[in-house]
Structures are given as C-alpha cells and as structure tokens.
C-alpha cells in the first residue's frame, strides 16, 4: 500500500481537509507524510513579485506539520517557491523527487470559463503526474478547526 504520501497545501481553508485526509491515509497504511507548500510569485515585465511572504508560507507549513504530528503521523515538510504558472510542475516534480507513491491535494472549484482561461493546479497535476493523485473533497467543517 502507500508508504510515502506527499500532501500539497495552500492558504485556502481546504488545506484542513487535505491534511486530515493525508493523516487518515497515513495512519491506515503506516505511511510517512511529506508536506509541500509552494509560495507563489507572479512575473511581470520588470520583476518577479512574491504573492506570499516567507513568514506566511512557513506558518502554513508549520500548521500542517503540527496537525499531522499531533495525530501521531510521521511528517516532514518544505516550502518551495515558484511562479503561479509553475505550481503544478513544482508539485509534480516534488512528488517524484520525494519518491511519493500518493499525492494528495485539493481542487479549487471554478466556473468553466475561468477554468478554461486559468486551469486549476489540481487538474494539471492529475493529468501530468507520474504518481497516483487523490483529490480531497471540500469539507465545510474545515473552517471550524
């Protein structure tokens, strides 16, 4: 079964259900969990502009690691930096590099026109990943944690 699970988290409230699901899967299978947060940047003609500062990125990662460890799951994590257009490839590459056999992330729901113009990261990862991908369902109770 799964021995190395990589979970990708972002600042959205959906990160809570993603971490819960990763923890549940890890406890069921005895897997180790790697947590990845990609701190996004945007490129303009003149500069690359971070959309999240290092302290915010570290706080998101630390929160996820604390939740997993409190649940008795062996976990490690990292913050990666990438352009918004490279988040999916950064996640996929991290899964391969970490030798994950399962990748868990959350889809962000958008209208069909917006998804056409700006594809979802989860769609791109799922279509291009060499690792099994599990999309965590939205959990309305995630905001209550």
Q: What is the pLDDT of residue 45?
A: 83
Does pLDDT of 139 surpass 90? Answer: no
CA gap 32, 76 in Å, rounded? 8
Q: What is the pLDDT of residue 142?
A: 42
Does pLDDT of 145 surpass 50? Answer: no
> So where are the chain's domains?
9-136
Q: Are 47 and 97 in contact (CB under 8 A)?
A: no
Tokens found for residue 3 = 């021995």
Q: Which of 120, 101, 103, 102 is nearest to 111 (CA)?
A: 120
Q: What is the CATH number of domain 9-136?
A: 3.40.50.620
* Residues 25-37: tens digit of each pLDDT: 999 999 999 999 9
């Amino acid at each position: 079964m799964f021995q190395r699970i990589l979970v990708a988290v972002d600042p959205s409230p959906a990160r809570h259900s993603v971490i819960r699901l990763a923890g549940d899967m890890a406890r069921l299978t005895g897997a180790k969990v790697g947590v990845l947060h990609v701190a996004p940047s945007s490129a303009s003609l003149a500069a690359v502009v971070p959309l999240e500062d290092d302290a915010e990125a570290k706080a998101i990662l630390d929160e996820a690691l604390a939740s997993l460890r409190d649940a008795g799951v062996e976990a490690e994590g990292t913050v990666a930096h990438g352009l918004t257009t490279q988040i999916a490839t950064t996640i996929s590459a991290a899964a391969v590099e970490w030798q994950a056999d399962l990748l868990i992330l959350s889809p962000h729901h958008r209208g069909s026109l917006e998804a056409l113009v700006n594809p979802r990261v989860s769609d791109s990862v799922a279509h291009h990943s060499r690792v099994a991908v599990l999309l965590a369902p939205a959990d309305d109770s995630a905001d209550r944690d």
